[in-house]
Structure 1
Amino acid sequence: MELRGGVDHGPGQPGRLQRWASTALVVAGLALLPWLLVLAGYLPGGSGPVQWTTAWVGLDALESLGLVVTGLLLARGDTRRCLTAAATATLLVTDAWFDTTTASAGEAGAALAMAFCAELPLAAVCALVACRALPDRGR
């Protein structure tokens, strides 16, 4: 079963929903790239055991890579997208969790807005892509 707007169009003929989702995932992944530069300049560097800049920029870089690769695999109709989509959904939910639970009082609103307007909706799309790409086992 594939994400094709509820209709199986056959190989090489993605449906409108599949094209929309693949484009949205790639665009979202590419949109994260400038954010990585902002994040790298904004976060305190830290020294010793806590390297916040490395941790947060690394997490967002993995999310960006996951979104782009998932979108490209979806556009190609490649069922391996279930792997990248599941991993990316997990990263996005983890990011939303840590953003909201570690935000200071002054940053809580922005963290919640990012979680509910970007990270969690993208995680839901990735989860849907992952579930729809699972092989049909005779059901």
Structure 2
Amino acid sequence: MTSAERRELILRLTPAPHGIGPSARTVEQIRKWRLALMVVCVVTLIPWIVYLANTLPNHYVARNWVATWVGFDVLLLVMLTATAIAGWRRRQVLFPTAFASGVLLVCDAWFDVMTSHHGRDLIQALLSALVIELPLAFILVAGPLRLLRYVAIRHGLVDPDVRIWRVPIPMPELWPDRRIPPN
């Protein structure tokens, strides 16, 4: 059997779970509302960024500076710990925790570089970002995405030739013939 034939057989033999999730109509309504919310956020954020770029001062002394950075690093520690535990125990919660940890590391690198003083402080922030934070962030984001794709291939949900950004969300009740589109 080819991989496509195996995938088709798995989809035909696997019963569609009923009663454990919302109806197809509810899923579509939720999807439309969430997409509309994202569009509103994007449209609103553009003028807000322009406004901030024109009105914020170049220099600002912040309150709670220590609490802000320590709190951020505690959050990063919690997410990295959760990712390590999920990876060690081979739990699927690894996907969101690793992704969130990677995003937090990118934010940490950005703010470290942008708030550092010139000279040795800036060099240290750049080296830390380029050698530690950004490569680790890439591993934490790309690794689980590859693993997610592997799981989808292994369970016959997608063809091995399909790239991760083309993998649809598998919701069989939304496709009458239960076949997941190849692209």
Shorter-normalised TM-score: what interval? 0.5 to 0.7
Q: TM-score, length-normalised on structure 2? A: 0.46
Structure 2 residue aligned with 1:120: 134
Q: Distance in 1 between matches of 2:76 and 2:143?
A: 15
Q: Distance in 1 between matches of 2:91 and 2:70?
A: 28
Structure 2 residue aligned with 1:86: 99
Which 5+ residue runs of structure 2 have no aligned equivalent?
1-60, 160-183
Q: State the Cα distance separating 1:64 from its structure 2 match.
A: 1.3
Matches within 5 A, 1:1-139: 50-106=63-119, 107-134=121-148, 135-136=151-152, 137-139=157-159
Contact kept in structure 2, 1:81 and 1:129, CA below 8 Å: no
Aligned residues: 92
Q: State the Cα distance separating 1:138 from its structure 2 match.
A: 2.4
Q: TM-score, length-normalised on structure 1? A: 0.60
Amino acid at match of 2:88: A
Structure 2 residue aligned with 1:17: none
Which 5+ residue runs of structure 1 have no aligned equivalent?
1-47
Q: Distance in 1 between matches of 2:90 and 2:146?
A: 11
Q: Distance in 2 between matches of 1:85 and 1:119?
A: 13
Q: State the Cα distance separating 1:114 from its structure 2 match.
A: 1.0
Q: State the Cα distance separating 1:49 from its structure 2 match.
A: 6.1
- The higher radius of gyration belongs to 2
RMSD: 1.8
Q: State the Cα distance separating 1:75 from its structure 2 match.
A: 1.4
Q: Percent identity?
A: 35
Q: Distance in 1 between matches of 2:83 and 2:146?
A: 13
Q: State the Cα distance separating 1:124 from its structure 2 match.
A: 1.2
Q: Distance in 2 between matches of 1:132 and 1:96?
A: 24
